[in-house]
Amino acid sequence: MSFVHLHVHSQYSFLDGASPLDRLLEKAQALGMSALALTDHNRLTGAIRFYRKATALGIKPIIGAEVDVEGDHHLTLLCKDTHGYSSLCRLLTEAHLSNRGREPQATREMLRKFRTGLVALSGCSRGEVPVLVRRGKIEEAVRAVCFYRDVYGDDFFIELISHPSQQCISNSYWLAQFARQQLVPVVATNNVHYADREDYAVKELLNAIGRNIPVDQIKDRRTTEQYLKSSEEMACLFRDLPDALAATGEIASRCNLELELGKPRFPRFDIPAGETEYGLLSRLAYERVLAKYGSLTPDIRQRIEYELDTINRLGFCGYFLVVWDIVRWARERGIRCQARGSAADSLVVYLLDISIVDPIAHDLLFERFMHPLRRELPDIDLDIDRKRREEVRDYIAQKYGTDNVACVATINTYMARGAIRDVGKALQVPQEIIEEACSGIHYLSASQFREHAASLPELKKSTIYKRTELDSFFKLCAVIDGFPKHLSVHLGGLLIGGGRLSDLVPLEWSSGGDIISQYDKDDIEQLGLVKMYVLSLPTLTVLEDTLADIRKNHGVSIDLDNIPGDDPAAFAMLRDGKAIGTFQLESPAQREMAGRLLPDRFEDIIVSISLVRPGPLKSNMDKIYLPRRHGKESVTYLHPKLKNALEETLGVILYQEQVLKVAHDLAGMSYAEADGFRRAMTHDRTTEEMEKMRGSFITGAVRNDVSEDIASQVFEQLAAFAAYGFCKAHAVAYAIIACQTLWLKCHYPAEFFAAVLSNQPMGYYPPRVLVAEARRSGVKILPPDVNHSDDCYTVEDGAIRVSLKQLRGMSEDALGSILSARMRGSFISLRDFVLRTNVSQPTMENLARVGAFDSLCGREELQSQLLILSGLRQKTGRGTMSLFEDTQPEPVHTMEAANDNRKERMLAERELLSLSITAHPLDYVLLDAGITRMKDLYKSETGKRVEIVGSVIRYQTPPTRNGNRVVYVIMEDGTGVADVTVFGDVQEKCGHVLFREGWLRVTGKVQRRGPKALSIIADNLYPLSLEPADSDGPQPEFHLNSVGSCN
């Protein structure tokens, strides 16, 4: 074998490698190299994709890593076989996990412990042997060589890197001499950090970012030679050392790792003696049939047997038992927990109580979840009460072993904002330029943001992206687009190994203290590891909290499984657009859909959740479905054979499960084949592949007495649908939770909103909008009070008391001291509060300003009281004296606090609580007569021109049918919420106003898309600022001043 690069860093060396895998492999292929190693720093994150890509190109992949070893040295390790791979995984895991909060480091003991199947090269200039030889410490170098030879035997090589440079004149010469004296074989490498020489600047830039220093402070290793050199270039560099060149081929021929990708690897579940996994699973499923269905009918038995047989044949029995055990454990402890996604298509999953969705009642197909023809491994996703998710995670780790459980990692990569910030910092670009360049850029790729800046109305007027002196800066930002920055925890993804996970997956700490895999979810899937998602769903916490409060306040225990699915009052509320706070139904699009669909039954919620998605809306499914739903158009089918599949959705394809049914009923496919057909259509496919699928579908249909023309039309519908279809099982699972929140909001609004507010952040709206909605639902909002407020929102006589946690600057310590002091008795005076708590003076002032002491003393007394009492605390040494020693109260602020008027109070609430309790700012603005309040919008006729004023809740830019961007602005004015649509022409006109926080005046026309679905089509947006008026009168006022306009 000719020369092989055995020391190569990719971008997965995280800020030390300047080339993606594809670039390295393409270059290696162009150079005619038959093998290539990947040796990123301390990680195998790129290894699996490298293995696959290299194999596909016919290049032999050699997996390895450059490992940090004790003494701040490097060592290059390469896997010879699966034993070597396992050794490296375990070595990296131990090097990382034993150094929590520090850089990973392998000790000599670790090297000795995990040595099997590895080839070791002495490393770059930071290798132990090169460093000692360079320093002339020959005796120590000899001892080091003895150690490495003792550990790796004939698989230890002295690594020679020839980067001719001013600094490095003869290092490799002396190292080679030393190797000869010690009879250690040498090997030539180039310590590659980029594919082409031109990329040296990117490497230096990344190094500067990684080390958090300006790029001009990089003094060391400033070579441009670390590129993937050709065999000829390497031969020239090592012309005096042919054995070092020959060793590369020799080592490559020793490395013959074959990873078994795609082979499923399941966690093991301990079963009672004498029982099999299948037997136990079967018994558990049948045990629950009577409770669920009353009797075991032949149909149910057949379905259970079919599912169990499939699960067993695919080897999934243990996996199902693992998930069953987790859910059982959680439920026994009162932790709300249930499956989401396609797992709810399974009857066995339902019978095991993993899911709350009855697949028989909802006519769900098991094959959508799993079948023998499916290539991807199915996984079961669990939603868990957010507050108690950690308990479940701890249980899993304790049950299956901490070295056998890890979170799935996600690779955080550079996008525009991150690139601008990091590159700007490294290049010492002035901060104001960085800020200006970042403003208005959201979720744009680093390589395309300048193109977008030229076309997006809100960025068009900015000149910063056109400044020629910043050209090279922006180009460098584009170069690092998509480069990995760091690993973090993938939301909820969990791995359970079959014994010891680190045999297969190297593990490390996340910054948050979780143990994570070094592979992301795609590579985990390639390895065949079955992952599960243990996701925290705050809505489940809201359900639990609401039920607990209802029990406490009303003495009623509610079983959410038995509330009516079509409660008239709850559905009336939904039809009126009053869904803010509910699960899945609160977004503007869903509220609008409720006004068009006019739901009155559970099935409508399933439809609504499935319909309000970019795909169906882009395909006009709503326009076909809704007239049929309201009886304005008749339900028709292209062919009578479609009725069975599409009757439930009035002839419209809405669910993925329906694709399976159509392909089965019309084209005679089995459900498993039909799912394969659906999956194939979902992915990117070539015209030839599409034609092949069309051919097989039409042939099947014609054989089934369907005309070719009809079959072709149906195929087109399926093809168009496949890209956006929604899994019905998932929609049902979420519709159940949505209905539960709707019912609770309708019948117990105080308890429901208190729970929603206590569990922020969650949902679509900020607390100020939720508080306003609660008030509109008839619930009184009480201000925070040191004697009554808790660390969450609570219900007092039907009213909601604001939590002390909502106060800006309230620390956990301060809150804890208030609550623990109150356990010994309520505060009887301000003096009592000061002496018994550890609350700092600024926080006390904030408490005073929002009225939290109002129950203790009049506000006019607060100023003097606080001053005197803070002095008292100093004298007595009680409370947090130190907090007061250096802090003098600020009379101006406390004067404001003591100034008892609604306007000041309202301002304090906005500033310190981000809420409007006493009043809304617009209550103090004398609005023009022409302005329509949001509560009155519904009275306006379609097409009427209106003018509204309010604060922005959020902006949305969902995908559209024709690809043109539409901006939706959701606003509130204290009386209600309005949904404003801004089309392209108005975006052009008002670009600088878009995505601006704060207050807006909007003019536009009322549009009605359904009986109760209303929005405003904007024709102009004006930014406003809220400023106090100079008023001597008794009623202070504000002005809303224009701060610019469109034209």
Contacts to another protein by CB under 8 A: 162-166, 169, 197, 200-201, 204, 215-216, 222-225, 237, 427, 472
The gap between the terminal CA atoms of the chain, to the nearest Å, is: 72
The answer to whether the peptide bond before residue 61 is cis (omega within 30 degrees of 0) is no
Q: How far apart are CA 914 and CA 847, in angstroms?
A: 14
Residue 878 CB, nearest approach to another protein (Å): 58
Residue 188 CB, nearest approach to another protein (Å): 14
Nearer to another protein, 143 or 197 (CB): 197
Nearer to another protein, 201 or 624 (CB): 201
Query: Which three-class secondary structure state does DSSP give residue 138?
Result: helix
Supply 371's token pair. 């079948």
Nearer to another protein, 163 or 664 (CB): 163
CA dihedral 267→270→271→273, nearest 10 degrees, is 140
Residue 169 CB, nearest approach to another protein (Å): 7
Let me know the angle formed at the C-alpha of 1045 by 470 and 416, rounded to the nearest 5 degrees.
30
Residue 102 CB, nearest approach to another protein (Å): 30
Q: How far apart are CA 240 and CA 242, in angstroms?
A: 6
Q: How far apart are CA 635 and CA 630, in angstroms?
A: 11
Residue 200 CB, nearest approach to another protein (Å): 5
Strand 381-385 to strand 531-537: parallel, antiparallel, or no bridges (unpaired)? parallel
Contact in structure between 656 and 727 (CB atoms under 8 Å): yes
DSSP 937: G
Nearer to another protein, 231 or 704 (CB): 231
Residue 66 CB, nearest approach to another protein (Å): 21
Supply 744's token pair. 């609770």
Nearer to another protein, 208 or 409 (CB): 208
Residue 424 CB, nearest approach to another protein (Å): 12
Nearer to another protein, 297 or 428 (CB): 428
Nearer to another protein, 165 or 181 (CB): 165
Nearer to another protein, 143 or 222 (CB): 222
Q: How far apart are CA 312 and CA 913, in angstroms?
A: 56
Residue 477 CB, nearest approach to another protein (Å): 13
Instruction: For residue 355, give the nearest of 727, 654, 756 by alpha carbon.
Output: 727
3-class secondary structure per residue, 668-726: CCCHHHHHHHHHHHHCCCCHHHHHHHHHHHHHHHHHCCCCHHHHHHHHHHHHHHHCCCE
Instruction: For residue 763, give the nearest of 783, 750, 745 by alpha carbon.
Output: 745
Nearer to another protein, 142 or 201 (CB): 201
Nearer to another protein, 3 or 227 (CB): 227
Residue 18 CB, nearest approach to another protein (Å): 12
Residue 222 CB, nearest approach to another protein (Å): 4
Beta-bridge partners for 194 = 227
Nearer to another protein, 217 or 276 (CB): 217
Please, which residues have CB within 8 angstroms of residue 550's CB and are 6 or more apart in sequence? 556, 558, 748, 751
Contact in structure between 993 and 1046 (CB atoms under 8 Å): yes
Residue 227 CB, nearest approach to another protein (Å): 10
Nearer to another protein, 476 or 810 (CB): 476
Whole-angstrom CA distances from 31 to 2, 49, 189, 197 are: 11, 21, 16, 14
Sheet of 507-509, strands arranged across: 337-340, 381-385, 531-537, 484-496, 405-413, 515-520, 507-509
Q: How far apart are CA 143 and CA 74, in angstroms?
A: 17
Please, which residues have CB within 8 angstroms of residue 276's CB and are 6 or more apart in sequence? 317
Nearer to another protein, 17 or 763 (CB): 17
Residue 205 CB, nearest approach to another protein (Å): 8
Nearer to another protein, 219 or 375 (CB): 219
3-class secondary structure per residue, 85-136: HHHHHHHHHHHHHCCCCCCCCECHHHHHHCCCCEEEECCCCCEHHHHHHHCC
The beta-carbon contacts of 599-602 under 8 Å, at least 24 apart in sequence, are: 599/571, 599/574, 599/575, 600/566, 600/568, 600/571, 600/575, 601/565, 601/566, 601/571, 602/565, 602/566, 602/735, 602/739
Q: Return the axis-axis angle of helices 416-426 and 200-211, rounded to nearest 10°.
A: 90
Nearer to another protein, 241 or 925 (CB): 241
Strand 977-982 to strand 1013-1028: parallel, antiparallel, or no bridges (unpaired)? parallel
Q: How far apart are CA 409 and CA 510, in angstroms?
A: 9
Instruction: For residue 542, give the nearest of 793, 752, 806, 831 by alpha carbon.
Output: 752
Residue 199 CB, nearest approach to another protein (Å): 11
Q: How far apart are CA 913 and CA 894, in angstroms?
A: 17
Residue 20 CB, nearest approach to another protein (Å): 21
Please report where in the chains the tokens 């300047």 appear, as a residue.
Answer: 18
Residue 880 CB, nearest approach to another protein (Å): 50
Buried b (16+ CB within 10 A) or exposed e, 919-928: bbbbbbbeee
Residue 236 CB, nearest approach to another protein (Å): 9
Residue 215 CB, nearest approach to another protein (Å): 6
DSSP 872: H
In Å, how far from its chain's centre is CA 707? Answer: 47
Nearer to another protein, 225 or 979 (CB): 225
Nearer to another protein, 223 or 310 (CB): 223
Please, which residues have CB within 8 angstroms of residue 692's CB and are 6 or more apart in sequence? none
Contact in structure between 568 and 743 (CB atoms under 8 Å): no
Residue 3 CB, nearest approach to another protein (Å): 18
Nearer to another protein, 162 or 518 (CB): 162
